[in-house]
Amino acid sequence: MDIYKRLEELGLKLPVLPKPLASYEPATVYQNIVFTSGQLPIVNQELKYRGKVGKDLTVEEAKEAAKICILNCLAAVHNVLGDLNKVEKVIKVTGFVNSSPDFIHQPAVIEGASTLLIDLFGETGKHARSAVGVAALPNDVAVEIEIMISIKSSY
């Protein structure tokens, strides 16, 4: 399955890779693993979905933020590999949720990212995951996500 065609079928487009907010690479390759930096819900260089989930934002809004983060992760992977079809397996998703003190539904938020990866990659998109509530995230965004993926040996 061609990932770019699948993105199109889902009505999605790989975004322009957001510019890093500091001194780091959006993604790096070590051996056959791509590690992305934490990606924020940035669209056209503009931060979206700011505030604490459970206070300022709903779970549904935060799930949308998580989807944007994953698309930005994939843009970072595309940037270092040149082709998302080189992805062999999504290994791990780590999601951080800017949570109000009583918010306990972080897994429901990061599910937005997980289901998008599985919709795009099928079995290859199934992954291990952590969903962590935090007191604050950069620029008060609702969600930050990083992924690890393995690359096909032909890379």
What is the domain extent for residue 109? 3-17+25-151
Q: What are phi and psi of 91, to 5 degrees?
A: -90, -50
Q: Write out residues in the chain with pLDDT < 70, as ranges.
A: 154-155
| pLDDT score at 154 | 60
| Prediction pTM value | 0.95
| pLDDT score at 155 | 52
CA distance linking residue 131 with residue 102, whole number of Å:
15
Give the number of domains in the chain: 1
76's CB contacts (< 8 A; 6+ apart) are: 17, 26, 27, 36, 37, 39
CATH of the domain at 126: 3.30.1330.40
| pLDDT score at 100 | 97
| pLDDT score at 71 | 98
Radius of gyration (Cα) for the chain, nearest Å?
A: 15
